[in-house]
Chain A
Amino acid sequence: MEIDREDGRTPNQLRPLACSRNILHRSHGSASWSQGDTKVLAAVYGPKAGTKKNENPEKACFEVIWKPKTGQIGKVEKEYELILKRTIQSICVLTVNPNTTTSVIIQVVHDDGSLLPCAINAACAALVDAGIPMKHLAVAICCCLADNGYAVLDPNKLEEKKMTALAYLVFPNTTLSVLPEGSSLVEDEPVEHGIITSVTHGVMSVDDYFLCVENGRAATASLSAFFRKNFQQSQRDPSKAG
């Protein structure tokens, strides 16, 4: 039984993506990422000298500041900051700039569902813009389960409210990873099919979870292609100025 989505998308179809980089002048790197109506702005400052007290000085440290569109910063924002920090730590090469701190600031411009994956994609694009060395790019996607057991990708806010369970998944953009140690949260799966981060809300069975992961991974191919096209377009820019 097919699910009817309000905006007419198929269950595996993503909303239109848009990404623009280098929009802020004073930051080292910045990017804005929008999926449909959800839009997030990310800025990267650093690397700056010195790490925080409890951090390992032999590695680069990342700090994330999440700014919601309205309201005060509360527990939800702190949780997002922590998830984002762990994700960024696993995709960046930490040994290149030891004893430095890089700040990533996320500003929510509009939230229309699938906010955390949008923010992760924006942060990744901003890190690329800033030139921070990374092992691979992070591609994030939201996958949710409807009542009848169907997995739907990239829901908007109304759809999110109707779903029984929700999973935010972050994958590396290629099967190869620059450093062969792989990524966190890999248990029995081989490194090639790695998953970087997985956050779930609601109740779902194990099979349903794996179904979501499969669907998500299949969709990352189109997201990776979008990333690649976006970066290469702007790279044909003035580096060849005679």
Chain B
Amino acid sequence: MVMRKLELPLSKTQKVRYERAIDRLQSLSSTANSDASVIVTDTIPVNHDDAFLKGHGTSEVDGELLATVCGVVERVDKLVYVRTLRARYKPEVGDIVVGRVIEVAQKRWRVELNFTQDGVLMLSSMNMPDGIQRRRTSVDELNMRNIFVENDVVCAEVRNFQYDGSLQLHARSQKYGKLEKGQLLKVDPYLVKRSKQHFHYIESLGIDLIIGYNGFIWVGEHVEVRDPMMIDDQKDDEMISPSTKNTGKEQIHTPLETRQNICRIGNAIRVLSNLGFTMTLEVITETVNLSNSKNIDIHDMLGSEFHVVVAENETKRRREKRKK
């Protein structure tokens, strides 16, 4: 399971509890998988009577199947391949990602995505504030800074790969775009698995949770997905006010409770990332409920005691899931 060392100081009893929880988790999961970790030139155990397909990371030598990379053996039907444990994000077309704008360049924004190269969000792939579909003129190009500036957090979808391997993004529907009033958290990309929904709205707390596939998670105040026609009216109202700087003061401040909830969810995600558990809405809400029920202060959530408690809780949850 998780063999990563927790960088927190654990007292003796905490250590014992933590290790016990981890062992239980390991026993729960290892019975389900028949994977084996291999390093280069290890023989992959294969039943030669069945026809099998050699996938990535394998090579046949003298009738034996050897691994050419270090990783975990995965079997899908007849395909046998070795999956590496790269911690870098491996993007695919259609992934939902969250990133931070690092540069405003000619007709595009460069977005940092936890990948080797920066993602590129073209001006033409972005919805115009007035909602009208039209050709982007040079005036639009000069007004790019009104849409996104450096250090803004944006949510977008991967459109395709460019010839040199960098990503092109697009943000064509209303649910994509600039994210405000919240926190951006960075976790390791392998902790986020593909699922049907990446946008989550936690009604009870009024908070949006966007789990980007690249390992960036956005927790923020809920923003209603607005119709482009309504944005038109709102923009007109805003333009009437004398200067754009005033709109900052006119905005409604986020209530304290929502902000506390955002911090709580943020800390829950940090704890889960330290422990190395997959990020799903279920696990995150469970952790938050756990912290609420035990009346743990938001600051204490990052302490060693809570980490141990979360690990134990996760064991319990998995066990119950298996029994069903």
Contact = CB atoms under 8 A, between A and B. Distances in A.
A118 to B, nearest CB: 20
A235 B68 contact: no
A114 B268 CA distance: 46
A240 B85 contact: no
Contact of A240 (B1, B4, B41): B1
Nearest to B275: A238
Interface in B99-136: 114, 116
Nearest to B62: A180
A11 B36 CA distance: 37
Given A178-B68, A237-B276, A231 B116 contact: no
- Tell me what chain A mostly uses at the interface: helix, strand, loop, or mixed: loop
A45 B30 contact: no
Given A177-B41, A180-B62, A235 B72 contact: yes
Contacts of B30: 240
Given A176-B66, A237-B3, A22 B87 contact: yes
A227 B59 contact: no
Contact of B68 (A22, A28, A135, A228): A135
Interface string B69-108: 1111000000000011111100000000000000000000
Given A26-B116, A131-B84, A134-B40, A235 B71 contact: yes
B273 to A, nearest CB: 10
A178 B41 contact: yes
Q: How large is the interface on A (under 10, 10 to 19, 20 to 34, 35 or more residues)?
A: 35 or more
Nearest to B66: A178
A78 interface: no
A223 to B, nearest CB: 13
B37 A236 contact: yes
Contacts of B15: none
A233 B3 contact: yes
Contacts of B281: none
Contact of A227 (B35, B39, B57, B69): B39
B164 A239 contact: no
Interface in A145-187: 173-174, 176-180
Contacts of A25: 114
A238 B39 contact: no
A27 B40 CA distance: 21
A178 B61 contact: yes
A136 B25 CA distance: 33
Contact of A137 (B35, B40, B163, B164): B40
A242 B278 contact: yes
A228 B191 contact: no
Contacts of B116: 26-28, 45
B142 to A, nearest CB: 32
Contacts of A242: 25, 28-29, 278, 318, 321
B223 interface: no
Interface in A102-146: 128-137
B40 A128 contact: yes
B40 A235 contact: no
B4 A237 contact: yes
Interface string A4-43: 0000000000000000001001111100000000000000
A19 B56 CA distance: 26
Contacts of A176: 41, 61, 66
B70 A235 contact: yes
List of 8 A-B pairs having minimum Cβ-Cβ separation, nearest first: A131-B84, A133-B68, A235-B37, A241-B278, A240-B29, A238-B276, A128-B70, A231-B39
Interface of B: 1-4, 25-26, 28-30, 33, 35, 37, 39-41, 56-57, 59, 61-62, 66, 68-72, 83-88, 114, 116, 163-165, 190-191, 193, 276-278, 318, 321
Given A133-B59, A176-B61, A237-B4, 14 more contacts: A26-B116, A28-B88, A49-B165, A128-B69, A131-B71, A133-B57, A177-B61, A178-B68, A179-B61, A232-B39, A237-B276, A238-B276, A240-B1, A241-B191
13 contacts: A22-B87, A45-B116, A48-B164, A128-B70, A130-B86, A178-B66, A178-B68, A180-B61, A236-B37, A237-B2, A238-B1, A241-B191, A242-B318
Interface of A: 22, 25-29, 45, 48-49, 93, 96, 128-137, 173-174, 176-180, 227-228, 231-242
